[in-house]
Amino acid sequence: EEAKRRFYKNWSQSKKKAFTKSCTKWADDLGKKEIEKDLAQMKKYCTVIRVIVHTQMKILRRRQKKAHIMEVQLNGGSVADKVQFARDHFEKEIPVTAVLAKDEMIDIIGVTKGHGFKGVTSRWHTKKLPRKTHKGLRKVACIGAWHPSRIQFTVPRAGQKGYHHRTEINKKIYRIGEGYKMKDGR
């Protein structure tokens, strides 16, 4: 249900029809044969295997109920092993400790904090012009020579600041916590 919410803008007013047709495949034998055929084709032809995973928002007890969805690539072993691993873990919980370990170096991918449309002073940290400047001072004084009669890409311009995709490399995992231990499921 958490993952299905991701496919709707308004869950409460929707008909909640996502995946109702595709999940009927698992019910009858013909559909199961088709799934096994697809997996066999993956083992034969694919070189890269990725799985789609989602977070469990109900554990967090936050306001948000919509799960985050991500595609994760499987590495190690043959393609058949990867497909089998994915098949064994369909709709199962994968703990953090199964993927990451202590003292491991990882890369982190994310999006920077968004700031919207910004001028050149805020976006590129260019020098402000003197106080008496005509038509504003938070500008670039000269955006290029007469020739070449085009603006070069190296010249700072106004535009979107933040909300950019970034990858930070070599982050060390110092510790992975145990998490909550529930007493008899409560």
Q: Are strands 69-74 and 49-54 parallel, antiparallel or unpaired?
A: antiparallel
* Per-residue confidence (pLDDT) for residue 146, from 0 to 100: 95
Query: Rounded to the nearest 10 degrees, how much is the dihedral formed by the CA atoms of 24, 29, 33, 38?
Result: 10
* Per-residue confidence (pLDDT) for residue 178, from 0 to 100: 80
* Per-residue confidence (pLDDT) for residue 1, from 0 to 100: 81
Contact 54, 91 (CB under 8 A): no
pLDDT > 90 in the chain, percent = 66
* Per-residue confidence (pLDDT) for residue 58, from 0 to 100: 87
Please compute the mean of the pLDDT values over residues 165-174 and round it to a whole number. 96
Instruction: Give the C-alpha separation, 127 to 144, whole Å.
Output: 16
Distances (CA, A) of 93 to 34, 99, 117, 177: 25, 12, 41, 17
pLDDT digits 0-9 by tens, 35-86: 999 999 999 999 999 999 999 988 888 899 999 999 988 888 889 999 999 9
The conformation of residue 66, written as its DSSP 8-state character, comes to S
